[in-house]
Amino acid sequence: MSANTQPLIARDVHRHYRLSGKDLHVLRGVNLVVEPGQRVFLCGASGAGKTTLLYVLGGLERPDSGDVQVLGQSLYHIAPKKRAEARNRTMGFVFQHYFLLPELTALENVMLPAMIGGTKGEKRARELLDRVGLSGRLDHLPTELSGGEQQRVAIARSIINDPAIIFADEPTGNLDATTGAGVIDMLMSVVSEDKKTLIVVTHDQSLAQKGDRKLIIKDGGLVE
């Protein structure tokens, strides 16, 4: 298990969109420090910019200005290829819509980030699927799995490369309350056991109480 001793740092992050001829300023000089091992939940009204901020923090969407540092490395002052390598090596992602490849089995979906990183990872993928309670579903395609099972596959996939930080965008958004609670408990258990940093976007205030910090994005800034 890799040790993460450096915080995630966002400095003066701005992001706007051009919609119907008007500028919509979503992030207005966001500053944030997330310490290693913290579990942070980002909340806010629909359209407030929660997902935009998560994507900027995770190197998926370039801000208009400002920068993000992960493990001491700038994400936006490096070449796109280097940024993609940093994402693969140091970050894991869990999305609302799972984003499992439909033609791949559960095992193959979990192995995918490892294969992109240059290793096969089958033994670890099997161990991770067993850890999330899916040892009997290795050869199942996504269409043969329930929503909760698909999200557990996505959680296993997010940690295959032993990343320092897990980003989760509305991970329970497509699940009923009971299944969603089980998935978030599974995610919290995994990151706590492995001492990983977790940043979650959610609209569910009850879920947000499970973290170490709850941040609310409002008017382009963060309120704690």
186-192: long-range contacts at Cβ-Cβ below 8 A with a sequence spacing of 24 or more?
Answer: 186/132, 186/133, 186/152, 186/155, 187/94, 187/155, 188/39, 190/131, 190/132, 190/155, 190/159, 191/39, 191/166, 192/39
For residue 181, which phi and psi values (nearest 5 degrees)? Answer: -65, -40
In the predicted structure, residue 99 carries a pLDDT above the cut 90? yes
CATH code of residue 69: 3.40.50.300
Side chain identity at residue 69, one-letter code = Q
Better pLDDT: 205 or 100: 100
**Polymer length in residues for the chain:** 224
pTM: 0.93
Share the mean pLDDT of the chain.
92
pLDDT band at 3 (very low <50, low <70, confident <90, very high): low
pLDDT band at 205 (very low <50, low <70, confident <90, very high): confident
Cβ within 8 Å of residue 65, ≥6 positions away: 12, 13, 14
Q: Judge whether 3 lies within some domain.
A: no
- pLDDT (tens digit per residue) in 66-87: 999 999 999 999 999 999 999 9
Number of H helices, E strands in the chain: 7, 10
Q: Judge whether 173 lies within some domain.
A: yes
Q: Judge whether 28 lies within some domain.
A: yes
Q: Judge whether 1 lies within some domain.
A: no
**SS3 for 201?**
strand
Q: What is the pLDDT of residue 206?
A: 83
* 47-51, 130-134, 203-207, 212-216: range with lowest mean pLDDT: 203-207
pLDDT band at 4 (very low <50, low <70, confident <90, very high): low
Side chain identity at residue 74, one-letter code = S
Q: Judge whether 157 lies within some domain.
A: yes
Number of domains making up the chain: 1
CB atoms within 10 A of CB 5: 10
- pLDDT (tens digit per residue) in 124-181: 999 999 999 999 999 999 999 999 999 999 999 999 999 999 999 999 999 998 998 8
Q: Judge whether 59 lies within some domain.
A: yes
36 touches 197 (CB < 8 A) = yes
Tell me the DSSP string of 179-190: HHHHHHHHHHHH
Q: Judge whether 174 lies within some domain.
A: yes
> Residue 50 is part of which domain span?
8-223
- pLDDT (tens digit per residue) in 14-59: 999 988 888 889 999 999 999 999 999 999 988 899 999 999 999 9
Q: What is the pLDDT of residue 162?
A: 93
